[in-house]
Amino acid sequence: MNASSTSPKPVVGEPSIRTHALHALAYCERLFYLEEVEELRVADAAVFAGRRLHIQLQEEGERVELELASEALGLHGRVDAVRTREGTLVVYEHKRGRHAPGSDAPEAWPSDRLQAGAYALLVEERFPGAPVECRVRYHQTDTTVRFPLDEALRGDVAAAVTRARLLRASRERPPVTPEERKCAKCSLAPVCLPEEERQRAGEERPRLFPEDDVRQVLHVATPGARVGRAAEELVVTPPEGEGAPSRQPGRMVSALIAHGAVQVSAQALAYCVENDIGVHWFTSGGRYLGGLGGGAGNIHRRLRQFEALRQASVCLGLARRLVAAKLEGQLRFLLRASRGDSESRQVLASAVRDLRALLPKCEEAPSLEVLLGLEGAGAARYFGALPYLQGEDVDARLRFDGRNRRPPRDRFNAVLGFLYGLVHREVEAAIRAVGLDVAFGFYHQPRGTAGPLGLDVMELFRVPLADMPLVASVNRRAWDADADFEVTSEHVWLSKAGRAKAIELYERRKRETWKHNVLGYSLSYARLVELEVRLLEKEWTGKPGLFATFRLR
């Protein structure tokens, strides 16, 4: 068998495959698909450590990178180093970790062998006539493993390229790997959520989804402020005479939110887009206008979303769960109330009884129209009982007396609407980060500029992220009815001080941790929003049934 007999056959017009991608393919086909087809890549601590190793090797003169590409092989990549040893070209691949255990001597891991073999084939084509050898250097154990570019390795590379092409042409994600140990070290575990798919009732599984995001949301609410960029920092410059500029390291910012008349420079926008920092705009009154997402929206993810949500049965099933979760969230919040006179308790008990009666109807609702009626009936009972959650000593001007908006006509609704806007922003940012389309939902119908999917998922978080912290803050007498609001005969808005207080209230609530009642691990509310969107996507890409299952304690 000659060398060309086991080489990958070229496909005219098809893009070549990254040699490094074969490493991911050998490790886990789902990892390959997420990285190469859906273009999802997460730089975790291990990835950064590997980058530091290569920089160190280059500084020490131990690394000579060589860019190689082959149309015949269908491969391209950057080999760590190629050296000549007694007439043989030696391809070096550096790895940060440990070598594989062998029966007689250290061995290379299969994924490392495949990657080095692919590089060796590229070197062989680039420098014809010279024999080629592969070496993988494992720095943790200070071991170098040598192996030849033999026919078996050539066949492995050819088979891997063929498999990679098939996966790249498919619109279906491969299943989660059965080798659970691999998932614990995978940088894409928070995206793939393998343990959530393996979830079985009563079984405790390791958590791979991060508890919280250490980065901060940068709110800019001063009218006339400007946001620019200086190197790797975002610089907020207030209007002249209102203080000195403040600087935020870009790596510590997850989103930039501009409230009202705030200018964001083109350089700052470009930096945010390049670094997956969402940029969002609100009106000065707190209405969410829209934003630029952090996270790439891949066509495969959106096509699967469109195909799934075109099915009426899928939409109805998801909507049933969504409305039931919302009603149960309202019910559990009312159940927490223990204050007040007998009249208050009677009103709350009546609302709780009515909400409980609505829940089983959600499971049997024959249409979205019926669900809308159930949701509306639940909202009427919930908001009718909400005033009875407020303490007797609350300022009368801050009491809730029914929902109103666009514009809000009292102080409570002014804050509630502002918080709902922040929740809407949070949800849409998560949808964009996951790579779905906010314009294609399963329950709400298109109206105005708000994306239906954002409005859908938002229903899960109105109570825990807005209603509960607002009622608690009002009962603590945290609001100044004069200083925190701007009141006219037609509407009530938050003042500058009021907006700052509402933002602080919301961001503090997001950082609070909570134990998921089904998955069994704790995470912040901010992470819970992203998790719910990823679990929604699993309704058509993995294990269905986990979306909208979390419940308030």
* Span 480-493, average pLDDT: 89
Domain assignment present for residue 209? The answer is: no
Domain assignment present for residue 38? The answer is: yes
* Span 502-506, average pLDDT: 93
Beta strands in 9-166 (DSSP E): 17-18, 66-70, 75-79, 81-85, 88-95, 132-138, 143-148
Domain assignment present for residue 41? The answer is: yes
User: Which region among 191-195, 236-240, 532-536 has the lowest average model confidence (pLDDT)?
Assistant: 191-195
Residue 194, pLDDT above cutoff 90: no
User: Which region among 272-286, 415-429, 456-470, 537-551 has the lowest average model confidence (pLDDT)?
Assistant: 272-286
The model's confidence at residue 206, banded by pLDDT at 50, 70 and 90, is low
Mean pLDDT of the chain: 85
Position 96 scores a pLDDT of 78
Digit-coded pLDDT (tens) for 389-443: 888 888 889 998 888 877 888 999 999 999 999 999 899 988 988 889 998 999 9
DSSP state, 552? -
Position 55 scores a pLDDT of 41
The model's confidence at residue 341, banded by pLDDT at 50, 70 and 90, is low
Position 57 scores a pLDDT of 45
The model's confidence at residue 324, banded by pLDDT at 50, 70 and 90, is very high
Q: Give the global pTM.
A: 0.78
Q: Could you tell me if 44 and 167 lie in one domain?
A: yes
Digit-coded pLDDT (tens) for 50-67: 444 444 444 444 445 678
Count CB atoms within 10 A of the CB of residue 342. 7
> What is the spatial distance between Cα 349 and Cα 67, in angstroms, rounded to a whole number?
71
The model's confidence at residue 114, banded by pLDDT at 50, 70 and 90, is very high
Residue 207, pLDDT above cutoff 80: no
Q: Could you tell me if 142 and 27 lie in one domain?
A: yes
Structural domain count of the chain: 2
Domain assignment present for residue 484? The answer is: no
Q: Are 424 and 288 in contact (CB under 8 A)?
A: yes
Q: Could you tell me if 48 and 167 lie in one domain?
A: yes
Q: Could you tell me if 135 and 65 lie in one domain?
A: yes
Position 294 scores a pLDDT of 52
Cα 271 vs. chain centroid, distance in angstroms? 19
Phi, psi of 219 (to 5 degrees): -95, 130
Tell me, what CATH number does 183's domain have? 3.90.320.10
Q: Which residues contact 300 (CB under 8 A, 6 or more apart)?
A: 37, 38, 171
DSSP state, 301? H
Q: Could you tell me if 247 and 114 lie in one domain?
A: no
Domain assignment present for residue 332? The answer is: no
Please state at what angle helix 110-126 crosses helix 19-27, rounded to 10 degrees.
Answer: 160
Q: How many helices (H) and strands (E) does the chain have?
A: 19, 19
Tell me, what CATH number does 286's domain have? 3.100.10.20
Count CB atoms within 10 A of the CB of residue 85. 9
Pairwise pLDDT comparison (389 vs 202), residue with the higher score: 389
Domain assignment present for residue 409? The answer is: no
> What is the spatial distance between Cα 262 and Cα 236, in angstroms, rounded to a whole number?
10
Position 46 scores a pLDDT of 47
The model's confidence at residue 200, banded by pLDDT at 50, 70 and 90, is low
Residue ending a domain, among 131, 159, 192, is 192
User: Which region among 145-149, 213-217, 366-370 has the lowest average model confidence (pLDDT)?
Assistant: 213-217
Q: Could you tell me if 153 and 281 lie in one domain?
A: no
Say which residue the tokens 């918080």 belong to: 419
Q: Which long-range contacts (CB under 8 A, 24 or more apart) does 263-270 make?
A: 263/225, 263/226, 263/227, 264/226, 264/227, 265/226, 265/227, 265/228, 265/229, 267/228, 267/229, 268/227, 268/228, 268/229, 268/234, 270/229
Position 5 scores a pLDDT of 47
Domain assignment present for residue 185? The answer is: yes
Q: Could you tell me if 183 and 231 lie in one domain?
A: no
- Domain range enclosing 250: 216-292
Residue ending a domain, among 265, 292, 319, is 292
> What is the spatial distance between Cα 267 and Cα 250, in angstroms, rounded to a whole number?
13
Q: Could you tell me if 36 and 183 lie in one domain?
A: yes
Domain assignment present for residue 495? The answer is: no
Digit-coded pLDDT (tens) for 236-274: 998 887 888 888 888 888 888 898 888 999 998 888 888
User: Which region among 12-21, 29-38, 160-169 has the lowest average model confidence (pLDDT)?
Assistant: 12-21
- Residue length, the chain? 553
Q: Could you tell me if 125 and 19 lie in one domain?
A: yes
* Span 317-341, average pLDDT: 86
The model's confidence at residue 508, banded by pLDDT at 50, 70 and 90, is very high
Q: Could you tell me if 180 and 286 lie in one domain?
A: no
Residue ending a domain, among 292, 314, 345, is 292
Position 353 scores a pLDDT of 93
Q: Could you tell me if 94 and 162 lie in one domain?
A: yes
* Span 302-318, average pLDDT: 94
* Span 357-379, average pLDDT: 94
Q: Could you tell me if 164 and 16 lie in one domain?
A: yes
Q: Which residues contact 325 (CB under 8 A, 6 or more apart)?
A: 459, 460, 548, 549, 550, 551
Digit-coded pLDDT (tens) for 22-52: 999 999 999 999 888 888 766 444 443 444 4
